[in-house]
Structure formats: C-alpha cells, structure tokens
Amino acid sequence: MKNESNIGKVTSIRGSVVDVWFQEDLPAINTLLLTGKNKKIKIEIFNQLDTNHVRGIALTPTQGLARGMAVTSTGKELLVPVGKSILGRMFDVFGNPIDHKGAPTDVTWKSIHQLPPPLSKRATKSEIFITGIKAIDVLMPLERGGKAGLFGGAGVGKTVLLTEIIHNMVGTDDGVSMFCGIGERCREGNELYNTMKDENLLKDMVLLFGQMNEPPGARFRVGHAALTMAEYFRDEEHRDVLLLIDNIFRFIQAGMEVSGLMGQMPSRLGYQPTMGTELAELQERIAYTNTGAITSIQAVYVPADDLTDPAAVHTFSHLSASIALSRKKASEGLYPAIDLLQSNSKMTTPEIIGERHYRLSQQIRETLAQYEELKDIISMLGMEQLSVKDRNVVNRARKLERFLTQPFFATEQFSGIEGKQVCLNDALEGCERILADEFKDYPESAFYMIGAIDELKKPEKNNKIGENSKKLALKESVVTQ
C-alpha cells in the first residue's frame, strides 16, 4: 500500500491533540500514526484539516513528543487480535495482553471500525435471555441479542450485578462472555480477573480494559475493540456472546473529552454535539443475526441519579430492557437494589413470555404500585388506619420485595450466605404463591435472601437469614462502593 511508508512530521501538540504535516498522500480518517521514541506514541486521525495537515488524538500519553518529530502512517486503522486463543485472556485497547502470559498465538488482526450487520442478516424472532436472577427474569426479562441497561448512581451495585450475571452465564451456557471495562479502576479489573480465575470461568471469557488513567482516545475506542472481538465469535464461531460493558457513561464521557479537545462546540450540559451518532455507531453493532447473537448488558452511571440527563436519555433509546438501581433499596438492604417499578422491558408481552408470566408480572407491578401509594398514609397514620384489603396488599408487597432479593455468588465472601441461581419457573411459582396469600402467617424476614420459595420449609435456614439480614445490608453496602 502506498501509505505504508508515508512519513510526516508533528507541527503542533496541545495535550492529546496532535497536528501532523504530510507532503503528499494524506492518510485517511481513523488511520493509525506512530511517532515518538521507538514509535510508542500512537495517534488516531480524527480530521483532515487541509491538503497537507491532519489532526489526531493520541491514544497513549504524549510525554517526550516534540514539534518536528517524524510520524509514520501505518496505512491501517487500529487493529485487535481475534481467534480462539484470545479466550481466557485480558487485553488493552491495542490488543496487547495485560495478564503477563505473553502474546496470543494463532490470531488474525482485525480493524475495530466495522459496519453493523445489515437488516437482511438480522434475526427477526424475539427470545428471552435467562439470567438466573429472580427480579430480572420475572419483571424485566432480557432479550437475546438485545441491549439491557443497568442504571444507577455510584455505589448501588452495578458492577456486583454484572459480575453475578457473568458467573451465572459462563457457568451454565455454551456461549462466550466478554467484559469490556471503559474507564474502569485498576482495582476492579484486578478483582474481576482473579474472581473469574478462582471460579474457573476464564476459559470462556475475554476481558478488555481501557482504564481510568488512560487518555480519552483510548477509553473512547475500547468499546469498538471489544465489539470486534465479540463479532468474531458470533460470525465465525457461530457462538452466542454475552457482552458486558462497564460503564457506557464513561464511553460518552471519553467522547465528550475528545470532542472538547478537538474544539467542537459543546451541546446541552456540556455534552458533545455528536453524542447520539457516536453512541449509535457502537450500539448498532450489537445484534442478533442468522449466525448467533451478541447480547449486551451495560452499566450506565447516572449523574446525580438524574434519569433526565442527556447521557441516560440517549442510552435509553437503544435499550430493549432497563434495570434501574435505587439507592433507597440499597439503604434498606434489599439486594439486588433494583427499583422494580422504574425498571421495564419491551419483552413483557403475552406473545413473547407467555400468558402466565405476563399476568403475574402485571399483578406484581400492580401490588407494588398500590403499596407505593399507601406508604404516605402508613408513615403518617400507621398500618392500623388501613382497611383489611389495603393491609393485605401491603403484606403481599413487602413479602414480594423480600422474595425478589437474592444472595449472590459474587458476594459470598462478604455476606457469609451461599449464592443462589434461580430458574424462571421457581421464581414465577414463588411470586404466584405469595400473591395467593399462601404464606400469610410467615414473617417477612423469612422471605429475605432465599432462592426458590421451597426454602421456606426449612426453619433453620430462616433463622440464619434473620440473624444475617442486618449484617448483610452493612457488608454489601461496602461491596458496592
């Protein structure tokens, strides 16, 4: 290729923004440039300024870079390795292994910039994706090949919930799990890697990290790199992929930093004017095709717990299910701290989930909504002032709230309670029996942190749960920080 030996020189450096002059053969947008000592500084072209100048964003720190330095155009876009041998490995945005195990062999290198699958190749049927977590499977079932968002502020349990879903999926499914950490703390990446290694779940996982301390350009591209790897398993290996992104807000935030560095006029609340386009380029590649499905679950940090924030609103528009995490639920010790009324899924229709499941989910929502309305009366006048009918509604709702808590494998070492994975039928049966007042004489605490409803038959378990409930609330609040 003519561009491969194309040499230019640096004309200006402003933080991560680098302008480069080329005498001829101006490289294309998204081309990777190499410069600095041993060509370790990598720059991706974002703009062609005129016939001789390009402007790029450095994907690595720019220390030591100076005007006049030679720049080599690779003639290629940023590449990542794909192949069977990447399973069980941990990479950075450039495809370099960061698990001290050496470079993977027998891989091909593929550009991170790929087009989404055309409509003609997409599957048209809707299927449910079972997670083994009661609250999600019953009230907000996820779509196979769809996108689900985990909305919540800092410290309400997004990462813990993602870790639990990985545990449940990799342990029972034939698919591949891919964890993409955008703007992750190095502590979180290290803990996740070690947890998966201890649970023997790494063999069907790939981990990709763009850490918090890395330049915005690297954080902005790590999501595209993860999708390229996921698309290989879907399209070439014909396997289903569970793609977990933590945190999609950090992707938008990195785009905002890049946009600011490039001198674009900020839009509402300081976000980049191109936010909608950038998010769509990433999200549209997550799809269910004739060869397999990429199902994505994305943690979405909500600034100041404000669901009307543009980042949250734009992300909502791409999702088939949204799981809203509530600080209030977390403070009550109800884990997973899902706001059952705020969360929803477009899969909850009788045609997709069946008549029984649909009817039950509507009854549960109705009961919880009635309880929400009665809370003000209870706080002012007490339970005694409620009618018998309303008192029954409150009792059912409180038992349902506690039954939809669940001990996680991810928090066993902190809570001292063995993790549980519950199949959909057991979860539905438990809710059905609670709504039918079958357990009217049981205390609320008996339903807290159990798996299937049959565990109520074991009094010794109930006693242990009762003793541990306060301790659990305290300890899990530490876990989620």
DSSP bridge partners of 295: 242
Amino acid at 27: P
pTM metric for this prediction: 0.85
Gap between the terminal Cα atoms of the chain:
50
Task: Provide CB contacts within 8 A for 285, sequence distance 6+.
Answer: 114, 116, 117, 227, 231, 294
Looking up tokens 């330095």 gives 69
How many other C-beta atoms can be found within 10 angstroms of the C-beta atom of residue 36? 21
Q: Which helix (H) or strand (E) holds 81?
A: strand 79-82
Block mean pLDDT (10 aa), the chain, length 481:
71 94 92 93 95 95 94 95 94 94 93 94 90 95 93 84 84 80 89 84 91 94 96 93 92 94 89 94 93 92 86 91 92 93 94 96 97 91 89 95 93 88 95 94 93 75 48 43 42
Tokens 């290989």 correspond to 232
- Are 211 and 184 spatial neighbours (Cβ–Cβ below 8 Å)? yes
Run of H or E residues at 323: strand 321-324
Q: What is the per-residue pLDDT for 361?
A: 96
H or E element in which residue 295 lies: strand 294-301
CA–CA dist 131, 421 (Å, integer): 8
Which residues sit opposite 40 in a β-bridge? none
Residue 388 CB neighbours (<10 A): 7
**Are the CB atoms for 196 and 202 separated by under 8 Å?**
yes
Four-point Cα dihedral 154, 159, 161, 162, nearest 10: 140
Give residue 449's region: left, alpha or beta (phi > 0; psi -120 to 50).
left
Q: Which of 44, 184, 257, 455 is catalytic?
A: 184
List of residues 6+ apart from 314 with CB closer than 8 A:
252, 275, 276, 279
Element (H, E) at 245: strand 241-246
**185 is an active site residue:** yes
> In the block, which residue shows the tokens 């290290």?
190
Residue 184 a catalytic site member: yes
According to DSSP, the β-strands at 7-14 and 17-22 are antiparallel
Instruction: Write down the pLDDT at residue 171.
Output: 61
Task: Compute the distance between CA of residue 173 and CA of residue 447 in angstroms, rounded to an integer.
Answer: 29
Q: Please state the φ and ψ torsions of residue 255, each to the nearest 5 degrees.
A: -65, -35
Give residue 2's pLDDT: 44
Distance CA 353, CA 359 (A): 10
User: What are the beta bridge partners of residue 109?
Assistant: 81
Give Cα 417 distance to the centre of its chain: 25
| Alpha-carbon span 179 to 192, nearest angstrom | 9
Token pair belonging to 73: 């155009």
Question: Which helix (H) or strand (E) segment is 168 a member of?
Answer: helix 158-172
Residues in the chain, total: 481
Written as six digits, the tokens of 3 are 């561009």
Which string of DSSP letters, residue by residue, matches 177-197?
Answer: EEEEEEEE-HHHHHHHHHHHH
Helix pair 275-283, 248-261: axis angle to 10 deg: 140
At 25 the three-state DSSP class reads coil
Alpha helices in 382-479 (DSSP H): 388-403, 412-415, 424-435, 459-479
**Which position among 9, 122, 185, 464 bears the catalytic label?**
185
Q: Among the options 89, 144, 158, 329, which is catalytic?
A: 158
Within 10 Å of residue 193's Cβ, how many Cβ atoms?
18
Active site residue 281: no
DSSP 368-394: HHHHHHHHHHHHHH-GGGS-HHHHHHH
Contacts of 47 (CB under 8 A, 6+ apart): 29, 54, 55, 56, 262
Distance CA 313, CA 307 (A): 7
Residues 251, 180: contact at Cβ < 8 Å? no
